[in-house]
Amino acid sequence: MGIEPSMARPRLPVRWPFRVLAALIVLAAGALALASLAAMAQTTLPAVKVTAPPYSSQHGGYLISGDFKVDPRMPSVVFPAQALVKDDILSIEPVHLQDNEYLVLQECASADCHEASLVRYWNSGDIGGDRTRHNRVWITHENKYFIWLKRLPAVSGQSCGQGWLKFDARTTKCGSHFTSFEQVSPPLMLVPTGELVAYHQDALQKAIQEDPVQVTRQTHDGSTYVVTYEGGSTVRVRRMHAMQDSERH
C-alpha cells in the first residue's frame, strides 16, 4: 500500500554544523582564488621562446655577441659574460686611444690567475685603415680572457737621446710607442722592454704600478659592446662563435 502524499512525513531543512559550513566557505573561496590566479597567469604570462643570448645576432654561421661586462669590484676590467672557447673569434676595435694609452688583452697563465699572458695590445697607431686582421683574435683554447686600458709615459724619437740628430737618416729611430713587452706578468700589469725603456726608467716604474684606466660608460650597439674609459677612449668589442647544427634556428 502506497503512502498518501498528505500522509508523507514532512522533510525538515538540513542544518549543517557551523564548523563544517565554515570549512566549505573557506574551500569555496580558495577555489575561486586559485581560478582567478590561473586566469591572471594565462593573461599576463604568455609563452616566450628565447632564441638567442642577449645582445646577439646570427650571420654566416656565427653567433655574434656583445655580451661583455665590467665587474663592479674591478671597474677597469672588461670580460666576456660567457667564457671564450676554442675557435671563437674576438673582435676588438679601438675607436679612439690617446697617444700614451695601450689597450691590452690578457689571459690567465696560471690556475689562480696570479700570472697573466699578453695576448695582444693596441696603441693609437692601430686605429683606422685596414686593421681588420689585427683587430680579430683567434681563440686557440678555452681560458679566462680580459681587456683593460693602460697609460704609459709618452715617448718620441728625441726622447731616445737622438737630440738634434733625430732627422739624420743614419740615426736609429726609436718610434713613438713602446712596442715590446714582457710576455708573462702579474694580471693588469704591462711591462715594456727594449731600447726605449732605458730612457724612461723612472717614469715607467711609477706608471707600471698605477691602476689601469677605469671604465666610465658601457653600452650595447646591437650585438656590439661599446666601452668608454676615463679621458674618452672608446673600444668596440664582439665575440664570434661558430654555431653547431643544434644551435641554428
What is the CA angle 128-131-133, rounded to 5? 165
In the structure, what pLDDT confidence band is assigned to residue 61 with cuts at 50, 70 and 90? confident
Asked if residue 74 has pLDDT above 90, the reply is yes
The pLDDT tens digits for 1-35 are: 444 444 444 444 445 444 444 444 444 444 444 44
pLDDT of residue 40: 42
Q: Terminal CA-to-CA distance of the chain, rounded, Å?
A: 81
The pLDDT tens digits for 101-139 are: 999 999 999 999 999 999 999 999 888 766 677 899 999
Mean pLDDT value of segment 90-106: 96
What is the CA angle 187-196-135, rounded to 5? 55
pLDDT of residue 155: 83
The pLDDT tens digits for 138-149 are: 999 999 999 999
CA 179 vs CA 90, 153, 165: distances in Å: 22, 13, 22
Spatial distance between the Cα atoms of 155 and 177, rounded to a whole number of angstroms: 6
- In SS3 terms, 11-35 reads as CCCCCCCHHHHHHHHHHHHHHHHHH
The pLDDT tens digits for 161-217 are: 555 454 555 455 567 899 999 999 999 999 999 888 888 899 999 999 999 999 999
The pLDDT tens digits for 220-242 are: 999 999 999 999 999 999 999 88
CA 2 vs CA 9, 10, 110, 146, 213: distances in Å: 13, 16, 101, 98, 105
